[in-house]
Amino acid sequence: MKPSRFLLLILIWMMTMKSRGADLPGTWEVLVENAGIASMHTVVTHFNTVVLLDRTDLSPTEERYQKYHCQIDPKNKQDPQTRPDCYAYSVYYDLANQNLQPLTINTDTWCSSGQVLPDGTILQTGGDNDGIKKIRKFSPCETTSSSCDWEELKDIELAEGRWYATNQILPNGSVIIIGGKAEVSVELFPPRHGGGVVSFPFLAEAVNDQMDNLYPYVHLLPNGHLFVFANNKSVIYDYTNNIVLKHYPELEGGPRNYPSAGSSVMLALTPDMESGVYSSATILVCGGAQYGAYKDMNTSVPAQSSCGRIVATAKNPVWEMEEMPVGRIMGDMVMLPTGDVVIINGAQAGSQGFEQASKPCLSPVLYQSDEPMGSRFMTLAPSSVPRMYHSTANLLPDGRILVAGSNSHAYYNFSTKFPTELKVEAFSPTYLSPWNKIMRPTIEELPEKINYGETFDIVVSGELPVVFGYPEVNMASAPFATHSFSQGQRLVKLVVLSRAIVRLGTVRFECLAPPDRSVAPPGYYMVFVVKDGVPSVAKWVQII
Ligand SMILES: *[C@@H]1O[C@H](CO)[C@@H](O)[C@H](O)[C@H]1NC(C)=O
Ligand SMILES: *[C@@H]1O[C@H](CO)[C@@H](O)[C@H](O)[C@H]1NC(C)=O
Ligand SMILES: *[C@@H]1O[C@H](CO)[C@@H](O)[C@H](O)[C@H]1NC(C)=O
Ligand SMILES: *[C@@H]1O[C@H](CO)[C@@H](O)[C@H](O)[C@H]1NC(C)=O
C-alpha cells in the first residue's frame, strides 16, 4: 500500500473512532450475546471460568423467555422438591472458549450471599422461599465440558433464614454470614461449636424505616477484625468475642446500603516496604440513593454523588468527602490490579428494587486512589447496555471487567423499559489499549502455592521497559459479586525484595508473601505483575 493511502486510511479510522465517542478511555465488547440467564450473583473461579447465578422463583408459568436448557424431567411437574420447569438458573461459563453449561439449582437463591473457600469451592448461603436457610457448594471443574454442579447441602442448614446478608471469609477459613432481612445476628460456616447464632445489635442501630442496613459492607481489616458499614454507620467488630471495638463517625450524605446502595471497597492493602508490615486499611464508600426514594417509589430522585473515604485503622479517623462526576446508585466497585477502582453499572436516579430506578449510568468512572483529592476521578467510555438492578461486575485474570445481569422486574421481561439483560460484556480499562502493549509484563513462572511470610520467586518477561527497575506484584481475591457489593473483594500489594536477570528480557523477582491470614485469608488469588500502571495477565496462586 502506498504511504499516502495508508495515512488517509488512518485519518478516516481516527475520524470514525472520534465520532463513536472513543475519546473517552476504555473499550467495551460483547462476550456472550445470550447467556440464558441474567446473572444476579457472579464469581470467577481459579480455572478462569465464571459461575453465573440468578434466582429460581421466576415462575415458568409467566411468559418468560425462550426455553434454555431442559435439565429436569419436564413430566415431574408435581414434585415440589424439584423445580417443575425446564429453565437453568445458574450457568457455568468458560472464558477460554465462551462455552456455557447449565447448572442445577432447585431451591431459591434470590438475593443470597457467598464466598470462595480456601480450596476454591464456592460457598453460597441463603436466598428466599425454600432457599432461605439453604447452604450450597460448587466445586469448580477445569472446563465447562467436565461435569461439576451445585450441591445443595442436606444435613446442614443456616441457623436463621438469610436474605440480603453479606459473607466474608475469615483468617481461619471459616465464613461469617452477617445480617439479612430482619436478622440482627451473625453466624458462621462451618457453624460454631454448639451451633447457633450470635446477636449483632449494630444492625438494629443502623436500620431506619426503609431498612437501609441490608447487604452491609464488610471488610476484613489487616488487624483481623471486621469493618462493618450499614446505612451511614460503621464499626470495628471483633467477631471472636462478639464485641464492637469502635464506632466511626456517621457518613453524611444519606443512606448507603440496600435498598439505597452505592458501593464500597477496601483500597489496596499496602505494606511498609522496609518492615513488610501491613498496618493501615482505607475504606471507600461511593454513591447511594437519597433517603425516601425507595419509600416513595420515586424513580426520579437524583442519586448521591458523594464518596466517603476513611482510614479505618487510624486512631481518630474522619470521613474525607469527595464528589463523583455523576450521582450513582447500584454501582459496582471493582478493584483493578493497579490499586485503582472502577465504578461501573447502576443508575442516576431512584433506588434499588423492582422498577425503582431510571437514567442508567452508562459510563464507568475510574477512581485513581493515589492521586491527590480533587483529581482522582476520570469518566470512561460508555457501554450501550443499561445495567440496572441485579447486575454484576468482576475483575478477570486478564485485567478486563466482566459485566453481567440486569433485571429490575419481578420476572424476565424483554419487552419493557430496561429489559432483562442476557448479554455478558467485558470492559477493558486503558491499561489494555494497544499502545500499552509494549509495557505489558508476562508472568513466566510462579509457584502454584505459597506460604505465609515466606519469600517466593516470580519470573517476568517483556520488552525492555518492562524488565528495568521494579514492578508491583499485587494479589487480587475472587469475590462473590451481588447487589453492588463484591463480598470478599481484596487487593494485597506485596513487597518485592530483589531482582536478578535470567536472560535478556527476563527477570526473576523475589517477593514476600503476605505475613498472615488476616492480611490475606487462605485461598486462591490472581497474581498480577504491574509495571508503570500496566498489569500482566494474572496467574492464580493458592496461599495456605
Ligand atoms: C474460626 O474463627 C471463629 C471465630 O474466632 C471460630 O468461632 C471458629 O470456630 C473458627 N473456625 C475454625 C474452623 O477453627
Ligand atoms: C444517619 O442516618 C440517620 C437515619 O437513619 C439520620 O437520622 C442521621 O441524621 C444520619 N446521619 C448523618 C450524619 O447524616
Ligand atoms: C419525585 O422526585 C422528584 C425529584 O426529586 C420530584 O421533583 C418529584 O416531585 C417527586 N415526585 C413525587 C410524586 O413525589
Ligand atoms: C413486561 O413489561 C410490560 C411493560 O411494563 C408489561 O406490559 C408486561 O405485562 C410485562 N410482561 C411480563 C411477562 O411481566
CATH code of the domain containing 489: 2.60.40.10
Among the listed residues 390, 530, 399, the one whose alpha carbon sits nearest the alpha carbon of residue 95: 399
Q: What pTM did the predictor assign?
A: 0.93
Please list, in sequence order, all residues whose beta carbon lies within 8 angstroms of the beta carbon of residue 539, skipping any fewer than 6 positions away: 397, 443, 446, 526, 527
Residue 286 lies in a domain: yes
Q: Which atom of ligand 4 is nearest to the CA of 62?
A: 13
204 ligand 2 Cβ < 6 A = no
Ligand 4: residue whose CA is nearest its atom 3? 416
Q: Which atom of ligand 3 is nearest to the CA of 290?
A: 5
Q: Which atom of ligand 2 is nearest to the CA of 254?
A: 14
Domain containing 518 equals 437-543
Residues 72 and 191 in one domain: yes
Residues 327 and 460 in one domain: no
pLDDT tens over the chain, length 544 residues = 444 554 444 444 444 444 444 589 999 999 999 898 899 999 999 999 999 999 987 654 344 444 454 444 444 444 444 445 567 889 999 999 999 888 888 889 999 999 999 999 999 999 999 999 999 999 999 987 778 999 999 999 999 999 999 999 999 999 999 999 999 999 999 998 877 899 999 999 999 999 999 999 999 999 999 999 999 999 999 999 999 999 999 999 999 999 999 999 999 999 998 899 999 999 999 999 999 999 999 999 999 999 999 999 999 999 999 999 999 999 999 999 999 999 999 999 999 999 999 999 999 999 999 999 999 999 999 999 999 999 999 999 999 999 999 999 988 888 899 999 999 999 999 999 999 999 999 999 999 999 999 999 999 999 877 788 999 999 999 999 999 999 999 999 999 999 999 999 999 999 999 999 999 999 999 999 999 999 999 999 999 8
205, 207, 212, 232, best to mutate for ligand 2 pocket (most atoms within 8 Å of CB):
232
Residue 2 lies in a domain: no
The residues that bridge with 482 in the sheet, in sequence order, are 41, 485
Looking at 150-288, which runs of residues are DSSP E strands?
Answer: 150-152, 166-169, 175-178, 185-189, 198-199, 217-220, 226-230, 233-238, 243-247, 263-266, 282-286
Q: Which ligand is nearest to the CA of 226?
A: 1
Residues 379 and 487 in one domain: no
Q: Which ligand is nearest to the CA of 253?
A: 2
Secondary structure letter of residue 431 according to DSSP:
G
The three-state secondary structure class of 130 is helix
Residues 474 and 418 in one domain: no
62 ligand 4 Cβ < 6 A = yes
Residue 332 lies in a domain: yes
Residues 424 and 466 in one domain: no
The widest CA-to-CA distance across the chain, in whole angstroms, is 80
Residues 32 and 150 in one domain: yes
Residue 198 CA to ligand 1 centre (angstroms): 13
CA distance 223 to 509: 28
CA distance 107 to 109: 7
Q: Is 9 exposed, middle or buried (0-12, 13-18, 19+ CB in 10 A)?
A: exposed
Identity (one letter) of the amino acid at 196?
G
Ligand 4: residue whose CA is nearest its atom 7? 416
* Residue where a domain stops, chosen among 432, 450, 481: 432
Residue 3 lies in a domain: no
* Cα three-residue angle 20-304-219, rounded to 5 degrees: 100
* Residue where a domain stops, chosen among 389, 411, 432: 432
Residues 15 and 100 in one domain: yes
Give the chain's domain count. 2
* Residue where a domain stops, chosen among 405, 432, 459: 432
Residues 422 and 451 in one domain: no
CA distance 322 to 308: 6
Total H helices, total E strands in the chain: 3, 42
Residues 180 and 275 in one domain: yes
